[in-house]
Amino acid sequence: MNVEINGARIFFEIPVLGGIPITATMVNAWCIMVLIIGLCIWLTRDLKVRPTGKRQIVAEFVVQTAQKFVVGNMGERFRNMVPFVSAIFSMSVLCSLSSLVGAFPATSDLSTELAWAVVVFIMITGTKIRTGGLGGYLKGFTQPIFILTPFNILSELATPISMSFRHFGNIVSGSVITSLVYAALAVASHALFGWLPGALGEILGSIPFLQVGIPAVLSVYFDLFSSCMQAFIFCMLTMLYIANAAEE
């Protein structure tokens, strides 16, 4: 029984600054970015005031859904957040779904999510400073009493960590469980047919019959449902945190 659970493969290293490794995460993330940009360009080519083609109707539906999602959750004054949230959402969904075609999903590398979460953290801090001023922001750490300052700083730092770990853990747990199930099913089908006498048992036992079909059910949950769910939750938390930061 051999179980292979690997991180991102390193393709090659750029020999500057002590070697920058180019991993499967980076390559796949750039492929997804190119895909999204291509999709945007294709959807928004020759727009008309009165849409005639299906393509423009799809594009308008996507934009309207994104606007309704963001404005409904954050309020009208955050309409400029629509592109940011939809960018993170589309990137997250497509990265996670890229495991369906056998590519290494960029979201199962913590660096990807941590980058997004750090960007969100900077935006939260920026919004807080813009609403309350630098003094108000620093004073917020001493609320309700000044003894709690270390805990406030800790909870501030926990935001990006918990956001990135949540997304990362969900995607990686899916791939770990799927590979464990594959290995277990190989053993099970060997036990099922391996007892047959002679060469017949050897040949039939070495073919993992049970791997057909059963993992597909897991894939529907872990790849389709969990990917979309985590992207939704990441965007939802982004919006909630930023909207909360503006209210204080």
Stretch that binds another protein, among 27-35, 123-131, 209-217, 227-235 (CB under 8 A): 227-235
Residue closer to another protein, measured from CB, 31 or 236: 236
Q: How far apart are alpha carbons 201 and 28 in whole angstroms?
A: 42
Residue closer to another protein, measured from CB, 55 or 166: 166
Tell me if residue 213 falls in helix, strand or coil: coil
How many residues touch another protein under the rule CB under 8 A: the total is 16
Binds another protein (CB under 8 A): choice among 204, 236, 243, 246 = 236
Binds another protein (CB under 8 A): choice among 22, 87, 181, 233 = 233
Residue 90 Cβ, how far from another protein at the closest point, in Å?
19
Binds another protein (CB under 8 A): choice among 5, 10, 37, 122 = 5
DSSP 3-state helix, strand, coil percentages of the chain (rounded to 5)? 80, 5, 15
Cα dihedral 200→201→203→209 (10° resolution): 120
The answer to whether the CB of 21 falls within 8 A of the CB of 10 is yes
Query: Nearest-CA neighbor of 120 among 219, 238, 223, 225?
Result: 238
The answer to whether the CB of 179 falls within 8 A of the CB of 3 is yes
In the region spanning residues 130 to 189, those forming contacts with another protein, defined by CB under 8 A, are: 162, 165-166, 168-170, 172-173, 176
Q: How far apart are alpha carbons 214 and 216 in whole angstroms?
A: 5
Residue closer to another protein, measured from CB, 72 or 133: 72
35 lines the binding site for another protein (CB under 8 A) = no
Residues within the interface to another protein (CB under 8 A): 5, 162, 165-166, 168-170, 172-173, 176, 229-230, 232-233, 236-237
